[in-house]
Amino acid sequence: MDTDGVPPLALDIDGTLTTAAGPIDPRAFDLLADWEAPVVLATGKSFPYPVALAHYAGVPETVVAENGGVVLVEGEVRHAGDPERARAAYRAYVDRGGDPGFTLEGTVNRWRETEVAVDRSRADEALLREVAAEFDLEVFDTGYAYHVKTPGVEKGDGLAVVADALGVEPSAFVAVGDSENDVSTFSVAGRSFAVANADERARAAADVVLAAGYFDGTLAAVERVRG
């Protein structure tokens, strides 16, 4: 779908629609509400976060959450990944003295349906990666949290599911993101932009690395592709 030259968007949230301090940049609500083509919110956050953002922006709840573990499009929810294995790995990490920072009951994890997140500022990364590997899981570093997840579950696959449901070619999408969990999105979308605060993997995978960071970078990207 290309609405008068306006392409559909696949937008990461944290680091991409936010300010450097963490909250959503208020201008992001206008972008979401005013964009004339579909917008997919593709995030590592648990399912309710992007759904709530879409709801309060007044746009369709078209969401890829948990790094591809949960997809919502046209009212249908699909899951990928093994949540029990992720929780077992979390418990093993804690049993070995690892500090997870985020509890399973707190708001970061309590609605997480397919993976587990650990506080990046508190975790023992080496121990977490060691335990995850023993459970045949992998660790994604989004710059905000470590995500213990099932290998092969990726945001990019979620975007392909959404594109199919919407009847849009995946390559029609323009993606914007900031971290390694956006690399798969960048490879599925036709055009990709890394904001200036992006990590090395996202920068290497993107077609364009923007001079501006956070939502300023995203605004620059969408202005460039608006046509």
Show the CA angle centred on residue 219, arms to residues 200 and 180, nearest 5°.
20
| The only residue of 8, 10, 14, 47 in contact with Mg ion, by rule CB under 5 A | 14
**Cβ proximity of 224 and 28 under 8 Å:** no
Helix (H, G, I), strand (E, B) or coil at 39: strand
Per CB under 5 A, which of residues 94..113 are in contact with Mg ion? Answer: none
> What are the Cα distances from residue 108, in Å, to 103, 164, 180?
8, 30, 19
CB-nearest residue to Mg ion: 15
Q: Which stretch binds Mg ion (CB under 5 A): 1-9, 10-18, 148-156, 167-175?
A: 10-18
Write down the catalytic residue from 12, 25, 141, 178. Answer: 12
Nearest approach in angstroms of CB 179 to Mg ion is 5
| 164 counts as catalytic | no
Closer of 66 and 178 to Mg ion (Cβ): 178
State how far the Cα of 50 lies from the Cα of 194, in Å rounded to an integer: 20
Q: By CB under 5 A, tell whether 12 contacts Mg ion.
A: yes
Q: Which stretch binds Mg ion (CB under 5 A): 14-22, 26-34, 109-117, 124-132?
A: 14-22
Q: By CB under 5 A, tell whether 178 contacts Mg ion.
A: yes
Which tokens in the block code for residue 66? 């948990």
Q: By CB under 5 A, tell whether 154 contacts Mg ion.
A: no
Residues that bind Mg ion (CB under 5 A): 12, 14-15, 178-179
Active site residues: 12
